[in-house]
Structure 1
Amino acid sequence: MATTQKSLVESVPKGLLIGGRWRDSSDGRTLAVEDPSSGATLAHVADATIADGKAALDAAVAAQGDWASTPPRDRGEILRAAFERITERAEDFATLMTLEMGKTLLESRGEVTYGAEFFRWFSEEAVRISGRWSTAPNGATRLLTMKKPVGPTLMITPWNFPLAMGTRKIGPAIAAGCTMVVKPASQTPLTMLALAELLRECGLPDGVLNVITTTRTGDVIEPVIRDPRLRKLTFTGSTAVGRSLVEQSAEQLLRVSMELGGNAPFIVFEDADLDRAVEGAMLAKMRNIGEACTAANRFYVHESVVDDFAERMAKRMGALTLGKGTKKGVDVGPLIDGKARDGVAELVEHARSQGATIVTGGNPVPGRGYFYEPTVITGVRKDARMMTEEIFGPVAPIASFRTEKEAIDLANGTEYGLASYVFTRDLSRVIRVSEALEYGMIGINQGIISNPAAPFGGVKASGFGREGGFEGIEEYLETTYVGIAP
């Protein structure tokens, strides 16, 4: 690791942030943060205990009253200051993310821009929280509705977007007046720890944001969820874990937001601009090394253009350069860990065993780090595991379809419903297909649809609730009705 990279990692707090103070785990244990490009240890951070989780919630509860009464403009100004400071330190945040997660610096810089924008967006939403005043139909009562912060919130964030998954939750909570306990993924805690320190520098009061890192997630988090003082749970991660958390949350009837797994279809119709479709496919598939819940997981291409599309896609994928994300000229970094790489390899081997054809790639890369070759597979059966499970890697399985109805049925033939992509030049078809697809988000002739100004979220087993857009702050607000006799 270069000296500047080493000093950057060393500058990040390694403790638990509880009540405005950085401190060690109550039992002194630490967890190792690994560089997925080499397997080397980057740093050790505190490994929280059950007692630490309770202390973090204690701090959030204690700070809730004062924070809720803080003027909206003041809350918004903290977010605006944080947006500007993240932008100033963009290269440091990008480098830190690349070191602990693996994506290239180019992609990490894009995430810094995307992640920071949530703070700017919600800094502007903080002063636009409003209720309404009306007269009852019989004229006897005045009806007042007001919005109040939900209260102390537990946030569990994933490893694949270490900055943006934090800002997307923290931004609206700060704007709404909610205090927080954040549990980042143990694979990528450094970015969240750096973000928490930055927010302290921007004037966020003690106890509003508390951060606990731990490998004992279930033991530490479940008591917090079952504590009657907690009022909201928001989670981004797998559907299996999400289901378990929803069950736990039912005891206290918590407000819950779940952004869970995906199985995004990428549909290319016969009239599509193939150059544009391939470009969109590369973005939708290879963003974040394919380790994204919105990543294109299944490619359905009309039979008249499937061979041409597959050839173009394979040429683009085969030309990508793998390597450590901080090095120049690298297009694709490592997967997050050995388990992730082995999981991708299993899915590819299953498709191959069913008769699918590997057009390019198809193998893990030997040596240090958790690399897998960018892969294109054709002739994939619809019951292949990679068509029903989330790949979370640089693999593009391609199947053909004949009719519009067949494409829609194939796309909807999953329990998931997060993101989907459609390429066509027929406006009427855009309307028909968009109305028929069972997804929370649909990209038309584009491979990236996430936007801080738009509501992000899914349906079916992909979860519920929305992050970003005008809808995002509503997840952190309760409505109170007041009837007034004049």
Structure 2
Amino acid sequence: LIRLIRAGCKHKHKHTLIKLSPSVGAAAVNMSTLLVNRPQYSWLRELGLSEDNDGVYNGSWGGQGQVVTSYCPANNEPIARVRPATMAEYEETVQKAQEAWKVWADVPAPKRGEVVRQIGDALRGKIKALGSLVSLEMGKIYVEGVGEVQEYVDVCDYAVGLSRMIGGPILPSESEFRLRPGHALIEQWNPVGLVGVITAFNFPVAVYGWNNAIALICGNVCLWKGAPTTPLTSVAVTRIVAEVLERNHLPGAICSMTCGGADIGTAMAKDERVGLLSFTGSTQVGKQVAMMVQERFGRQLLELGGNNAIIVFEDADLNLVVPSAVFASVGTAGQRCTTTRRLMLHESVHDDVVERIAKAYKQIRIGDPWDPSTLYGPLHTKQAVQQYLAAIEQAKQQGGTLVCGGKIMDRPGNYVEPTIITGLPHDAPIVHTETFVPILYVLKFKTEDEAFAWNNEVKQGLSSSIFTKDMGRVFRWLGPKGSDCGIVNVNIPTSGAEIGGAFGGEKHTGGGRESGSDSWKQYMRRSTCTINYSKDLPLAQGIKFE
């Protein structure tokens, strides 16, 4: 993609917890029409998928809920069917997970790491088929689907090393000052028990992997509810993980799964047996989750919306800016939480950059997501297409000018044109709204203070980036008066993250952190422990009690 965009530059010089999507229906579908039965999709069988698939796993497979059909966003044809969980099956799964935890918690952390390593290897062995399924069911291009599975593999590798490193310090006790001689002070970390993981459609493998691998080495068991529109991916991943647990003679309920909709998600949020609930999704639904978890004083990890900005200053290297802005705004058809939605350009480079990006947009190869030459695939659902059209109409009403795009594409599936809109004020309501579609709002600014303020004025605080050669500006951007986001970049796009750094954001993004750094602490509870190994009982603060 970057090579293609740069070529264009040279030429110039010369997204559920609350409800099921209507695209997932329970209506009867003829078996002969299912993609799983067509020869070109025989690799689905390699993943253990068939016409009808169990959507519950707790050591054994089941599913007695109302059947749902999964559809391919590229053509809206049915792939296969899934039987999700009933509330009775959810209850049974939680009970089995609790029993499995009693076994898993006694496994030494390095051994837990070895099991996670095997999960990573098993995923490696199925990476092409699983990546193809992500592409088929979610709609992202094949290379992104494979890359998403690779993220789960990578975080497994990271977790293996972490399994030998987690732990608390031995702290200086007042015994050092002879106030409490014969005492030791230590910090002990223990698992929270059952970790519930609710993931979104746009990363149906990676987000579970970020949580699952770290939670496991910390000594927790997991209960996963994937998005209602990507149930086949949830089933396929769980089958791979279950085989590893079985080979190690461990309870399958260590990594449980319940496909479902509002009833299952709400039950997880309200369930006091869920020690930590990790939720990835929209800010609107995240608020509902937060209230339900907080009502029971539970622990939560929220990864919600992003309204991310790239700021381009007058001294920026435009050969870096153009491919970065295009990749970050149209990648995954604008359906990443880290997608660039606001492009802020200094007035001296505004017209030049808009012209270059518009040319690059027109060269993007749009097509079937599993075609290796495709760079841009469909939106995930028909509802997303309607949201796209509604956002464009609002932008026009609020003063925006359509530079390119703005239409539904005349082909099967949920395809829309990647769109650029200029001329809107920085505080226009639509600019402050995260629409999970490929629309880029271009804003013109004059000063550094103005640009930094515009970056921070939206309610979300996930990812942000500036392009500049001014080192003073770089450190002002990274400092207390700079970006208020959880991800603060320089001369790279807003999208993408490395597993070694904690991923997440501030404000309405939820405040959660996943993957690297010290995010493992969220999956554990901390105890401060004082041990008296003397024969006396000296009291704190020198108090004498006789």
Q: Same fold (TM over 0.5)?
A: yes
In structure 2, the residue matched to 1:431 is 475
**How many Å apart are 1:135 and its aligned residue?**
4.1
In structure 1, the residue matched to 2:41 is 5
Shift in alpha-carbon separation, 1:230–1:107, aligned structure 2, 3 A: closer
In structure 1, the residue matched to 2:142 is 105
In structure 2, the residue matched to 1:273 is 317
Task: State how far apart, in whole Å, the 1-side matches of 2:208 and 2:357 are.
Answer: 33
Shift in alpha-carbon separation, 1:9–1:387, aligned structure 2, 3 A: farther
In structure 2, the residue matched to 1:150 is 192
Task: State how far apart, in whole Å, the 2-side matches of 1:427 and 1:196 are.
Answer: 47
Identity %: 31
In structure 2, the residue matched to 1:416 is 460
Q: Secondary structure at the match of 2:402?
A: strand
Residues 327-380 of structure 1 deviation map (CA, whole Å, 9 limit, x = unaligned): 242221100011111101111122123332222211111342111101122212
Task: State how far apart, in whole Å, the 2-side matches of 1:327 and 1:207 are.
Answer: 37
* Contact 1:9–1:96, Cα closer than 8 Å, also in 2: no
In structure 2, the residue matched to 1:47 is 84
Larger displacement relative to structure 2 (147-156 or 469-478)? 469-478
| Residues 1:19 and 2:58 aligned together | yes
Residues 83-138 of structure 1 deviation map (CA, whole Å, 9 limit, x = unaligned): 12222222111100000011111221222222321111112111211122234123
* Contact 1:12–1:190, Cα closer than 8 Å, also in 2: no
| Residues 1:340 and 2:384 aligned together | yes
Task: State how far apart, in whole Å, the 2-side matches of 1:426 and 1:254 are.
Answer: 45
**How many Å apart are 1:10 and its aligned residue?**
7.4
Q: Secondary structure at the match of 2:442?
A: strand
Task: State how far apart, in whole Å, the 1-side matches of 2:321 and 2:43 are.
Answer: 42
Task: State how far apart, in whole Å, the 2-side matches of 1:154 and 1:32 are.
Answer: 24
Task: State how far apart, in whole Å, the 1-side matches of 2:286 and 2:413 are.
Answer: 29
Q: Secondary structure at the match of 1:65?
A: helix
Q: Secondary structure at the match of 1:96?
A: helix
Q: Secondary structure at the match of 2:412?
A: coil
**How many Å apart are 1:248 and its aligned residue?**
0.7
How do residues 165-244 of structure 1 correspond to structure 2 at under 5 angstroms? 165-203=207-245, 205-214=251-260, 217-244=261-288
Asked which structure has the greater CA Rg, the reply is 2
In structure 1, the residue matched to 2:22 is none
* Contact 1:54–1:224, Cα closer than 8 Å, also in 2: no
Task: State how far apart, in whole Å, the 2-side matches of 1:37 and 1:276 are.
Answer: 31
In structure 1, the residue matched to 2:349 is 305
Task: State how far apart, in whole Å, the 1-side matches of 2:165 and 2:46 are.
Answer: 40
Task: State how far apart, in whole Å, the 2-side matches of 1:279 and 1:11 are.
Answer: 36
Q: Secondary structure at the match of 2:431?
A: helix
Task: State how far apart, in whole Å, the 1-side matches of 2:45 and 2:430 are.
Answer: 36
Task: State how far apart, in whole Å, the 2-side matches of 1:241 and 1:178 are.
Answer: 25
The one of 508, 522, 527 equivalent to 1:480 is: 527
The one of 304, 314, 325 equivalent to 1:260 is: 304
Q: Secondary structure at the match of 2:503?
A: coil
**How many Å apart are 1:7 and its aligned residue?**
4.2
* Contact 1:18–1:55, Cα closer than 8 Å, also in 2: no
In structure 2, the residue matched to 1:82 is 119
Shift in alpha-carbon separation, 1:112–1:11, aligned structure 2, 3 A: closer
* Contact 2:333–2:438, Cα closer than 8 Å, also in 1: yes
Task: State how far apart, in whole Å, the 2-side matches of 1:155 and 1:76 are.
Answer: 20
* Contact 1:386–1:397, Cα closer than 8 Å, also in 2: no
Shift in alpha-carbon separation, 1:327–1:415, aligned structure 2, 3 A: same
Task: State how far apart, in whole Å, the 2-side matches of 1:10 and 1:343 are.
Answer: 36
TM-score (structure 1 length as normaliser): 0.95
Shift in alpha-carbon separation, 1:381–1:12, aligned structure 2, 3 A: farther
* Contact 2:309–2:341, Cα closer than 8 Å, also in 1: yes
**How many Å apart are 1:4 and its aligned residue?**
4.1
* Contact 1:262–1:418, Cα closer than 8 Å, also in 2: yes
Q: Secondary structure at the match of 1:128?
A: coil
* Contact 1:454–1:469, Cα closer than 8 Å, also in 2: yes
Task: State how far apart, in whole Å, the 2-side matches of 1:209 and 1:164 are.
Answer: 15
How do residues 278-297 of structure 1 correspond to structure 2 at under 5 angstroms? 278-297=322-341
Shift in alpha-carbon separation, 1:253–1:9, aligned structure 2, 3 A: farther
Task: State how far apart, in whole Å, the 2-side matches of 1:405 and 1:57 are.
Answer: 51
* Contact 1:5–1:95, Cα closer than 8 Å, also in 2: no
Q: Secondary structure at the match of 1:406?
A: helix
* Contact 2:74–2:139, Cα closer than 8 Å, also in 1: yes
* Contact 1:166–1:192, Cα closer than 8 Å, also in 2: no
Task: State how far apart, in whole Å, the 2-side matches of 1:135 and 1:7 are.
Answer: 59
Shift in alpha-carbon separation, 1:9–1:43, aligned structure 2, 3 A: farther
In structure 2, the residue matched to 1:459 is 506
Q: Secondary structure at the match of 2:388?
A: helix
| Residues 1:35 and 2:72 aligned together | yes
Residues 65-86 of structure 1 deviation map (CA, whole Å, 9 limit, x = unaligned): 2111111111111111121222
Q: Secondary structure at the match of 1:366?
A: coil
Task: State how far apart, in whole Å, the 1-side matches of 2:253 and 2:180 are.
Answer: 45
| Residues 1:351 and 2:395 aligned together | yes
The one of 139, 148, 157 equivalent to 1:120 is: 157
Larger displacement relative to structure 2 (164-173 or 444-453)? 444-453
* Contact 1:318–1:375, Cα closer than 8 Å, also in 2: no
* Contact 1:443–1:449, Cα closer than 8 Å, also in 2: no
* Contact 2:56–2:84, Cα closer than 8 Å, also in 1: no
| Residues 1:327 and 2:371 aligned together | yes
Q: Secondary structure at the match of 2:332?
A: helix
* Contact 1:152–1:231, Cα closer than 8 Å, also in 2: yes
Task: State how far apart, in whole Å, the 2-side matches of 1:70 and 1:419 are.
Answer: 38
Q: Secondary structure at the match of 1:371?
A: coil
Matched AA of 1:220: I
The one of 430, 433, 450 equivalent to 1:386 is: 430
Task: State how far apart, in whole Å, the 2-side matches of 1:106 and 1:477 are.
Answer: 34
Tell me the number of residue pairs that the alignment of Structure 1 and Structure 2 aligns: 482
In structure 2, the residue matched to 1:470 is 517
In structure 1, the residue matched to 2:32 is none
* Contact 2:47–2:129, Cα closer than 8 Å, also in 1: no
Shift in alpha-carbon separation, 1:112–1:402, aligned structure 2, 3 A: same
* Contact 1:36–1:100, Cα closer than 8 Å, also in 2: yes
* Contact 2:56–2:85, Cα closer than 8 Å, also in 1: no
In structure 2, the residue matched to 1:62 is 99
Shift in alpha-carbon separation, 1:475–1:365, aligned structure 2, 3 A: same
Matched AA of 1:354: Q
| Residues 1:95 and 2:141 aligned together | no
* Contact 1:175–1:473, Cα closer than 8 Å, also in 2: no
- Structure 2: state its 5+ residue gaps: 1-34, 534-546
* Contact 2:74–2:415, Cα closer than 8 Å, also in 1: yes
Task: State how far apart, in whole Å, the 1-side matches of 2:253 and 2:122 are.
Answer: 21
Q: Secondary structure at the match of 1:462?
A: coil
Task: State how far apart, in whole Å, the 2-side matches of 1:6 and 1:375 are.
Answer: 36
| Residues 1:129 and 2:166 aligned together | yes
